[in-house]
Chain A
């Protein structure tokens, strides 16, 4: 708790934590877009979400090792993971869409373990990171540093949000996705190929995760067992924001980033993950308790 008093003696630290938290939270929001999309359209909670992120990170890592400029490797990761996600939909996920929701959670959980172990086996359990090649900004006379890559990630999240909204509103595919999300059966009757819409949705989610993974690899680290924290974070963000609320996702994401940064600073980094998971339970139970007064529950 010594760090808590430090926050009052050095107010500028607050600024650092706040800015860092907001920028970091944007990356969480980035991943959460994908989860919200898959959840809203396919009614699947993709537990393998974080594993897609980690895979994207590995793509950027290996491309950067091969001499590609890291930021240019991010789109490559997006495309590659989109293809992986599409393949996984065709192989496995299509069998659990429209079934008992528990089956899809468990199936994607199995998928997450499979990807995790494959990554461990193929890429090794070492902690990897990529040097972004983007410098840092110094503010407040050098007391506050903003790493350039986090800023890039933040702007990227806002842009991606806008692009997603535009695609969903304007494009033919976006309309088909929204129609399927509203009522899959009616959409089928009107000639929408729901199966292809699901495949496209899952692939878009893969692309989002892949790009996010690249940013994660440049901002912090990746290793095979990192996935679940990203899954849980994005789940939490979607719960807090509510389904179908993209602006809410950004706010919830940055809020989570700030909260997590403060918790990590005050309680020590070893409790940061514990904080994330406990917060998840608290948020879920809290939201549910408010509904229970009206004799409802989270659906």
Chain B
């Protein structure tokens, strides 16, 4: 098969699997829905961490903002379930994007260590503020409205909804990374001074990238908050030490700075995490800490990165079809 035919075939295959999955395995539909959330996490983190070289520890902020905005809209708007959810999700995405646009110019002027720690602080500060703010339920969190349909439908509904968010994020990024925008943020990653000297308005590009990241995270937060049914400030919305770290880990595990890396990383990670939860109950969080450490220390290139390094040379071609965005910074220059 020649290349132009192969890609649509792959995407169609994936699409069929995704569509039938909840009917084949209805007992794990919630876990599969969370899988799509993980994919969104990894993809949106990689815009910043992988493609632009800005390693954020606080992207969870936008997820939490989205979850809370949507839940508050659903609580106070008095609309029917579906319209309240739609309005809530739209406002959630907007709010998250606005927060990113406001914080962006100042926070993204920081670099390296400083950016990482500042964003870490942002995420935790947001959690503590949410836990003290009574309008949004303070430390006891906020409960999202009940899904009106049957119980079996609920899981499938959110599964498809989160898949839509993930697919929307993936296709947007796939397109963006091929445009001037992708080139610009890669240039910022490789050498910000030179990028600026070449006439790239770095602050604008950096803020735009963060806004895109925030947009999808806000959307995902709105939907995932409803899937979880209960939004806790520390454990769900601004869960810096679980979701917040996982998104980084998934992107690294899959391969930073590649399009498919975060997707693959999210899948491998999510399965691993479910296995930990099943077989190491009680110790699963300890195992997770160890897993993070091992991946970062021993496997920083990630699955796709490793595949590109060792196999594409041997096969001569194959890996290129799936991962068109080989970043120069990752493969060594």
Contacts and interface: CB of A to CB of B under 8 A. Distances in A.
Interface of A: 45, 92, 95-96, 100-103, 105-107, 109-111, 113-118, 120-121, 228, 232, 235, 239, 268, 270-271, 273-274, 277-278, 280-281, 284-285, 288-289, 292, 297-299
Query: Chain A interface secondary structure, helix, strand, loop or mixed?
Result: helix
27 contacts: A45-B113, A92-B297, A95-B297, A101-B112, A102-B116, A103-B296, A110-B289, A111-B293, A113-B245, A113-B289, A114-B286, A114-B292, A116-B241, A116-B289, A121-B285, A228-B124, A232-B120, A270-B128, A271-B128, A274-B128, A274-B132, A277-B121, A278-B125, A278-B129, A281-B118, A281-B121, A299-B112
B226 interface: no
A117 B289 contact: yes
Interface of B is mostly: helix
B255 to A, nearest CB: 15
A102 B112 CA distance: 7
Interface of B: 55, 57, 106-107, 109-114, 116-118, 120-122, 124-125, 128-129, 131-132, 139, 241, 245, 248, 252, 282-283, 285-286, 288-290, 292-293, 296-298, 300
Contacts of A278: 121, 125, 129
B110 A274 contact: no
A254 B266 CA distance: 44
B138 to A, nearest CB: 8
Given A107-B296, A280-B117, A297-B110, A118 B128 contact: no
Nearest to A225: B241
B269 to A, nearest CB: 13
A285 B109 contact: yes
Contact of A271 (B120, B129, B252, B292): B129
B290 A114 contact: yes
Contacts of B296: 96, 103, 106-107, 110
Given A103-B296, A106-B248, A113-B245, A277 B289 contact: no
B121 A280 contact: yes
Contacts of A292: 109
A297 B55 CA distance: 16
A100 B256 CA distance: 14
Nearest to B295: A110
Contact of A270 (B55, B131, B241): B131
A105 B248 CA distance: 12
Nearest to B54: A102
A114 B294 CA distance: 11
Contact of B111 (A113, A120, A298): A298
